[in-house]
Amino acid sequence: MSGATPIPPRAERWRNRAAAAAVIAYALITLLPILWIVQTGFKTPPDSIAYPPKLLAEPSLEGYVNLFTTRSRQTPEYIAALPPADGWVDRLVRSRNMVVAGPSKFGQRFVNSLVIGFGSTVLAVFLGTLAAYGFSRFKVPLKDDLLFFILSTRMMPPIAVAIPIFLMYRSLGLTDTHLGMILLYTAVNISLAVWLLKGFIDEIPREYEEAALIDGYSRLAAFRKVVLPQAATGIAATAIFCLIFAWNEYAFAVLLTSGEAQTLPPFIPFIIGEGGQDWPAVAAGTTLFLVPIVVFTVILRKHLLRGITFGAVRR
Amino acid sequence: MTQTSSLHTLARRAGAATPPVVAARVRGLSDRAVAWLFITPTMLLLLAINVFPLIWTIRLSFTNYRANRPNAPLRWVGLENYTSILSDPDVWHAMQTTAHFVVWSITLQVLLGFGLALLINRQFRGHGLWTTVILLPMMLSPAVVGNFWTFLFQPQTGLFNHVVAFVSGRDPSSFQMIGDVTLAPWAIVLVDTWMWTPYVMLICLAGLRSIPDDLYEAAEVDRAGPFRRFWSITLPMVLPFLMLAVLFRGIENFKMFDMVNLLTSGGPGSTTEVASITLKREAFEKWRTGYSSAFAVILFVTVFGLANIYVKVLNGVKQR
């Protein structure tokens, strides 16, 4: 809205301030649950379920210690008879009349999330880039139908596909394996990868490749040396979207994994302390789980719109 | 940079000097071979992990198969599974619960999201930062979100109950968002709205930014008031974007499983048991694989059918 507006600039300024105030108020309210969870991770278990809730509690790393360890309860006499505590973790655990029994499964589940997330992302982006280039540059018979078919695979409820995949994986021995989950997430992500990357590649002028072809490059060499560098930003943005999906996915993970290949989303809600959920530990796990997503969201800001609409809206 | 610009000039010169046929006669694989080489792996993967399972589901839906008894004799039951689903009151209850959830969550998200987009579009100082903050919830894992909202909804100690108590003056332990039959359906709507309002907002914002300034300038000349400008410029221009957002949210919420499963797991009773949760119960708790396959087919056909009708309407709106 340019200078042609007849509204006096003073009134306009006040309206802008009111809009800013409303947006900031919404942003703070929407941020509150997330901040509360992050803070709960730094409370002691009694403080986390205090009545009324404690806005300010003495910070404690007990949640994080509980997240990464398993502990066993001991008598005070037993603990007194132990050699002196080795470091702050031991001291903290012993102050609760417990001793560290070993590491928890959180670390292993975190590694699973990383392996499956990155594995499926690399595969989906690799296959997706090739297919997107094919659809973008060549006359493919039934192109629109194939593209729509690729998109429609996203409309199936995950539970609906999970039934036969469960049976298929059981007979192939892929249940609860990294490979099985990587293949599955690749298949789910590939529709997004093809649609997004096709949009990015469509925007690269064909003349670049044609010039390279005239220079004597083969089609494959032109793709590698001309198209890929131009599409780098788009490929990176697509990769982050695939990674976020695989990182966040729950339905397939809970139905098809139970131990070996379990990722974090089905694991975090079941971090149990004595007598129910150990909320500071759950909150600590949630915080560590969310940090990468927050970083990615900030990196992706410019491409977010495109990613969430399968490339339909490009700004 | 230099490489691209030299390529650019080269391309222009080449384009002027050579007929397009030259580009087709290149070294290495033919374009046709490259196209198939590039597209086939994706298609094979989708055939193996999407189409094949779908066909298997359809096949199972005509049998009495149970996945926990793989060696029991398989019997073809024809359309029996389908008829018993369509006459099952639990299934209709789940469909109604899903409809309540989809309609209300999307209505709230459209109102809030469009409102926020209008405000952010004024481009006050710092709007970029606050937009990013608002976008955060939709990037999180729905399962983890559902789980931590159970903590916020705790009647005695939860933040949500205390905030509501602070604003309304009621006792924080006088109501239970996820334990109460009347409130639980609204708890899932509330959490979904918290999570996905930014999604609708972002798409509406793109719509608002697509409106050329001269439309408003022309309206100024015609002395159109702010309401008239909103009704005859802003709303019609944003509508296709808004409808696209509704389509994507509609599909996603119709399939909703993870957030609701961890927030209420369908309870109390079956008051928040949306279709996907009923499906999970039938398939992975009662192990009625044939029956649940038929239900899965019905759900898929419903989503697919509704989405197709909707896209036709959307295209009609775009063309106007």
Query: Are residues B27 and A165, on separate chains, in Cβ contact within 8 Å?
Result: no
- Which amino acid appears at position A222 of this protein? A
Residue A12 placed within a domain = no
CA dihedral (A146, A147, A152, A158) in degrees, to 10, reads 100
The rounded percent of chain B whose pLDDT value lies above 70 is 91
Domain that holds residue B117: 83-319
Residue A102 belongs to what H/E stretch?
A: strand A98-103
Residue B9 lies in a domain: no
Average pLDDT over chain B reads 86
Q: Tokens for A106? A: 């959180």
Which residue is closest to B246 within chain A, CA to CA? A309
Could you tell me if residue A218 is left (phi over 0), alpha (psi between -120 and 50 degrees) or otherwise beta?
Answer: beta
Considering only A98-102, B34-38, B303-307, which range has the smallest mean pLDDT?
A98-102
* pLDDT on residue B23: 45
**Do the Cβ atoms of B157 and A315 come within 8 Å?**
no
Q: Tell me the three state secondary structure of residue A252.
A: helix
Specify the pLDDT at position A69.
87
Mean pLDDT of A100-106: 87
Confidence of residue B25 (pLDDT cuts 50, 70, 90): low
pLDDT at B105: 97
- pLDDT per residue over B110-167, tens digit each? 999 999 999 999 888 888 889 889 999 988 999 999 999 999 998 888 899 889 988 8
β-strand pairing of A272-273 with A276-277: antiparallel
- Those residues whose C-beta lies under 8 Å from the C-beta of residue A185, and which sit 6 or more positions away, are A116, A117, A120, A124, A242, A245, A246, A249, A252
Task: Name the residue among B287, B265, B283 with its Cα closest to residue B274.
Answer: B265
On whether residue B60 sits in a domain, the answer given is no
Q: Is A257 on the interface with B (CB under 8 A)?
A: no
**Residue B197, domain member (yes or no):** yes
Q: What counts of helices (H) and strands (E) characterise chain B?
A: 16, 0
- Identify the band that residue B26 occupies on the pLDDT scale cut at 50, 70 and 90: low
pLDDT of residue A54: 82
pLDDT for residue B1: 36
Q: Is residue A239 part of a domain?
A: yes
**In a domain? residue B218:** yes
pLDDT of residue A315: 64
Taking residues A283-295, what's their average pLDDT? 92
**Least confident residue range of A107-116, B33-42, B220-229, B283-292:** B220-229
B203 and A187 in contact by Cβ < 8 A? no
d(C-alpha B172, C-alpha B168), whole Å = 10
Tell me, yes or no, whether A139 lies in a domain: yes
CB contact under 8 A, A220 and B34: yes
**What pLDDT sits at residue A139?**
87
Residues 76-105 of A with CB under 8 A from B: none
Residue A198 domain flag? yes
Local structure of residue A83 (DSSP, 8 states):
P
In a domain, residue B280? The reply is yes
**Nearest chain B residue to A184, by CA:** B49
Q: Looking at the domain assignment, is residue B28 inside a domain?
A: no
The verdict on whether omega for the bond into residue A45 sits within 30 degrees of 0, i.e. cis, is no
| Contact at CB, A163 and B32, closer than 8 angstroms | no
**CB distance A211–B279 less than 8 Å?**
no
Question: Dihedral through CA A63, CA A68, CA A73, CA A74, nearest 10?
Answer: -110
Enumerate the H helices of chain A as residue ranges. Answer: 9-40, 45-48, 62-68, 76-81, 87-94, 106-137, 143-152, 158-172, 178-202, 206-214, 219-222, 228-230, 232-248, 251-256, 264-267, 279-300, 304-308
Question: Is residue B168 exposed (0-12), middle (13-18) or buried (19+ Cβ within 10 Å)?
Answer: exposed
Q: Which two tokens stand for residue B242?
A: 């808004």
Residue B13 — very low, low, confident or very high, per pLDDT cuts 50/70/90? low
Residue A216's domain is classified under what CATH number? 1.10.3720.10
Predicted confidence at residue B22, as pLDDT, reads 45
Identify the residue with better confidence: B82 or A142. Answer: B82
Burial of A202 (0-12, 13-18, 19+ CB in 10 A): middle
Segment A19-62, tens digit of pLDDT: 999 999 999 999 999 999 999 999 988 888 887 888 888 888 88
Report d(CA B63, CA B82) in Å as an integer: 11
Read off the tokens for A297. Answer: 């969201």
Output the pLDDT for position A151: 83
**Domain residue limits at A203:** 107-270
- Is A248 within the bounds of a domain? yes
Among B14, B38, B289, select the one facing A134 at the smallest CB separation.
Answer: B38
pLDDT of residue B9: 53
**Total number of domains constituting chain B:** 1
Inside any domain, residue A185: yes
Query: B1 in a domain, yes or no?
Result: no
Contacts 24+ apart (CB under 8 A), A134-143: A134/B34, A134/B35, A134/B36, A134/B38, A134/B39, A135/A194, A135/A198, A135/B39, A136/A198, A136/A201, A136/A202, A137/A201, A137/A206, A137/A209, A137/B31, A137/B35, A138/B31, A138/B32, A138/B34, A138/B35, A139/B35, A140/B35, A140/B39
Q: Which of B76, B291, B99, B260 is nearest to B184 (CA)?
A: B260
Asked if B38 lies within 8 A of A4 by C-beta distance, the reply is no
Predicted model pTM: 0.87
Q: Tell me the one-letter amino acid at B258.
A: D
Question: Quick check: is A216 in a domain?
Answer: yes
- A163 and B293 within 8 Å at the Cβ level: the answer is yes
Considering CB atoms only, which of A137, A166, A293 is closest to B140? A293
pLDDT for res A59? 87
| For residue A117, pLDDT beyond 90 | yes
Residues of chain A contacting residue B140, judged by C-beta atoms under 8 Å apart: 34, 248, 290, 293
pLDDT in tens, A225-271: 999 999 998 999 999 999 999 999 999 999 999 888 999 999 998 88
Cα–Cα separations (whole angstroms), residue B108 to B115, B181, B198, B294: 11, 21, 12, 32
Burial readout B4-19 (b: 16 or more C-beta within 10 A, e: otherwise): eeebeebbeebbeeee
> Taking 80 as the threshold, does the pLDDT of residue A215 lie above it?
yes
Please state the three-class secondary structure of B246-282 as a single string.
HHHHHHHHHCCCHHHHHHCCCCCCCCCCCHHHHHHHH
**Does residue A207 carry a pLDDT above 60?**
yes
Residue A86 within any structural domain of the chain:
no
Nearest chain B residue (CA) to A310: B248
For position B94, what pLDDT does the model report?
Answer: 94
Q: Give yes or no for A17 touching B (CB within 8 A).
A: yes
For A:100-139, CB contacts with B below 8 A are 127-128, 130-131, 133-135, 137-139
Please give the average per-residue pLDDT across B299-317, as a whole number.
87
Question: Residue B26 and residue A219: Cα distance in Å, rounded?
Answer: 7
User: Both tokens of residue B152?
Assistant: 């916020």
Please, are residues A108 and A260 in contact by the beta-carbon 8 Å criterion? no
Longest dimension (CA), chain A: 85
| Helix pair A178-202, B31-46: axis angle to 10 deg | 140
Placement of tokens 């280039």 in the chain: A133
pLDDT confidence of residue A7 = 59
> Do the Cβ atoms of B276 and A157 come closer than 8 Å?
yes
- How far apart are alpha carbons B141 and B110 in whole angstroms? 21
Torsion sign (Cα): A290, A296, A299, A304: negative
- Taking alpha carbons only, the member of B261, B19, B202 closest to residue A304 is B202
The enclosing domain of B304 has a CATH number of: 1.10.3720.10
Q: How many domains does chain A have?
A: 1
The packing angle between helices A9-40 and B184-209, to 10°, is 140
Does A6 score more than 70 pLDDT? Answer: no
pLDDT band at A300 (very low <50, low <70, confident <90, very high): confident
A157 touches B251 (CB < 8 A): no
